[in-house]
Amino acid sequence: DTPLRDLAAAKGKVVGTAVTGSKLTGAYGDVAGTQFSSLTPGNAMKWGSVEPTRGSFDWTEADQIVAFAQAHHQQVRGHTLVWHNQNPSWLTNGGFTPAQLGSLLHDHIDTEVGRYKGKIAAWDVVNEPFNEDGTYRSTIWYDNLGSGYIANALTWAHAADPDAKLYINDYNVEGVDAKSTALYNLVRSLKAQGVPIDGVGLQAHLILGQVPSTLQQNIQRFADLGVDVAITELDIRMQTPADSTRLTQQKADFKSVVAACAAVTRCVDVTVWGFADSDSWVPGTFPGYGAATPYDDNYAPKPAYYGIAEAL
């Protein structure tokens, strides 16, 4: 079979996967290196990973992923700079004032984006800023800095690496609804203010048989605003155990997501959140669900893999 990355390249697109640095050898490294044209560190670039103690940095896994990507002629999608989860406890429990938090965030973005300047194609700068009803999520950032933290983070990231594409990324924004419309309105307003925003990431942690019917329409409306769209964390979970009916439905679901992206020129990237069922966050996060990726536990392609290939 033609590798997914070659199929995607022929359409001017990128196909990616989230990875864990320590696993990038053997069969896992083979699949990651040959099938995909982009890697996203699944955890390695989060604040809690890179600065577990204030002022003391651990770039080991992030560096390893960047080096692997360069050796395999792959892009890296940086993930993520500003989020409410997986922050170090010194930050969340530090009792900092809003002014201090603003300056800590600026330093964090400077340090991390600066370290990888020229090596990161796109950054998920802000992750998951919205509630389901389209209001801003109450987080350490919003509660202390107001919604302006988003424009500031983008501006600081752009200053640290002017060539990186800057994204806002969220989940449950794949179809047209209140949450995706809030994201749409935010992007429109940021662009009107001249804030550097290049794209939106639709995470796409989906459930079997529930690909939103308005996915392509939603991608198109963001494209029409003048930003790129990436499917950043695609997985499609099913109740376990998997059976052939479910795996066949999953193939159709993966195919329809990739086809929706393929149909819109500005949809530039489809990234899966772990390529193998044995490496997926799903079973640990959604009890009773699993088998959410295109490869099985032993790195053999599932029907879902062929669904992706057929749509590329």
Which residues are the active-site residues?
Answer: 233
Smallest distance, ligand XIL to C-beta of residue 11, A? 25
Smallest distance, ligand XIL to C-beta of residue 292, A? 11
Instruction: Give the nearer residue to ligand XIL in terms of CB position, either 47 or 311.
Output: 47
Instruction: Give the nearer residue to ligand XIL in terms of CB position, either 233 or 277.
Output: 233
CB distance 152 to 98 below 8 Å: no
Query: What is the C-alpha separation between 213 and 16, in angstroms, rounded?
Result: 23
Q: Say if residue 241 is preceded by a cis peptide, omega within 30 of 0.
A: yes
Tokens 């990231």 — which residue?
Answer: 157
Instruction: Give the nearer residue to ligand XIL in terms of CB position, either 172 or 250.
Output: 172
- Sites of contact with ligand XIL (CB under 6 A): 42-43, 127, 203, 233, 281
Instruction: Give the nearer residue to ligand XIL in terms of CB position, either 206 or 312.
Output: 206
Smallest distance, ligand XIL to C-beta of residue 114, A? 22
The dihedral sign for the CA sequence 94, 100, 101, 106: negative
- Bridge pairing between strands 165-170 and 75-82: unpaired
Tell me the sheet residues that pair with 132.
none
Query: What is the C-alpha separation between 272 and 203, in angstroms, rounded?
Result: 9
CB distance 198 to 228 below 8 Å: yes
- Cβ neighbour number for residue 75 with a 10 Å cutoff: 20
Query: What is the C-alpha separation between 299 and 84, in angstroms, rounded?
Result: 32
Smallest distance, ligand XIL to C-beta of residue 236, A? 14
Helices (H), 72-145: 89-92, 98-115, 140-145
- Cβ neighbour number for residue 184 with a 10 Å cutoff: 20
First-to-last alpha carbon distance for the chain, in angstroms, is 13
Instruction: Give the nearer residue to ligand XIL in terms of CB position, either 43 or 249.
Output: 43
Smallest distance, ligand XIL to C-beta of residue 249, A? 23
Residues listed for the chain: 312
Smallest distance, ligand XIL to C-beta of residue 123, A? 13
Q: Which residue sits closest to ligand XIL, CB atoms considered? A: 281
Does an H or E element contain 170, and which?
Answer: strand 165-170
Instruction: Give the nearer residue to ligand XIL in terms of CB position, either 142 or 281.
Output: 281
In 3D, which of 144, 142, 51 has the Cα closest to residue 95?
A: 144
